[in-house]
């Protein structure tokens, strides 16, 4: 039996009526299809981070911090004025699709996004992103993850907090 997509359910239904705001900060997570591992193969991770920087240079966003994990990428951005959030993520996925295909990977449809609110603790989000490979047991706290980026302005204030034990925001651990 062939199943048809119900336009009133799924990602499309969740996005209906939503809008994005240029200048707002967004926490984003994109995953590979079926959570297949392979994003940290050096050419793939390098291509993803390179495109993230290209998008910053093109005014799509300001990349505040990002990490590429084996099956996902987390990033915190300030949305630029060129594209909506959806179009911006579409660009990232389109520009990195060839690199993923070379390693038998595909981006999962959709993404997790959250517009940061004034009451959100930005420090906790930076720590969540930074500490991902440590929590996953991929490296020890004495090592540095090679596929991590933090913008210079944010790194200046953020690095002094790396030894503090701060819990991630509740919306990230549900």
Q: Which residues pair with 30 in a beta bridge?
A: 73
Q: What is the pLDDT of residues 82-116, one digit of tens each?
A: 999 999 999 999 999 999 999 999 999 888 999 99
User: How do 148-150 and 61-68 pair as beta strands?
Assistant: antiparallel
Structural domains of the chain sorted by starting position, each given as residue range(s) with its CATH number in brackets:
19-173 (3.30.70.1290)
The predicted pLDDT at position 13 comes to 42
- C-alpha span between 154 and 158 (Å, rounded): 6
Can you give the pTM of this predicted structure? 0.84
User: How big is the CA angle at 158 (ends 155 and 160), to the nearest 5 degrees?
Assistant: 115
- For residue 173, is pLDDT > 70? no
Q: Which residues pair with 28 in a beta bridge?
A: 75, 113
Strands (E), 40-143: 61-68, 72-79, 112-115
- Listed residue (123, 121, 125, 105) closest to 113, CA to CA: 125
- Of the two residues 117 and 163, the one the predictor is more confident about is 117
- C-alpha span between 67 and 135 (Å, rounded): 13
- For residue 8, is pLDDT > 60? no
The position carrying tokens 């359910």 is 9
């Amino acid at each position: 039996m062939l199943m048809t997509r119900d336009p009133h359910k799924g990602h499309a239904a969740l996005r209906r009526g939503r809008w994005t705001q240029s200048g707002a900060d967004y926490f984003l997570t994109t995953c590979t299809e079926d959570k297949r591992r392979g994003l940290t193969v050096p050419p793939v991770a390098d291509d993803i981070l390179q495109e993230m920087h290209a998008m910053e240079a093109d005014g799509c966003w300001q990349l505040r911090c990002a990490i590429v994990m084996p099956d996902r990428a987390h990033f915190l951005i300030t949305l630029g004025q060129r594209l909506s959030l959806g179009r911006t993520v579409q660009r990232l996925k389109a520009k990195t699709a060839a690199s993923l295909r070379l390693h038998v990977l595909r981006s999962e449809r959709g993404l997790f996004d959250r517009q940061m609110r004034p009451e959100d603790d930005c420090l906790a989000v930076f720590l969540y992103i930074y500490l991902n490979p440590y929590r996953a047991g991929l490296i020890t706290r004495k090592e540095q993850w090679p596929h991590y980026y933090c913008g210079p302005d944010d790194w200046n204030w953020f690095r002094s907090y790396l030894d503090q034990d701060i819990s991630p925001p509740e919306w990230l651990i549900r």
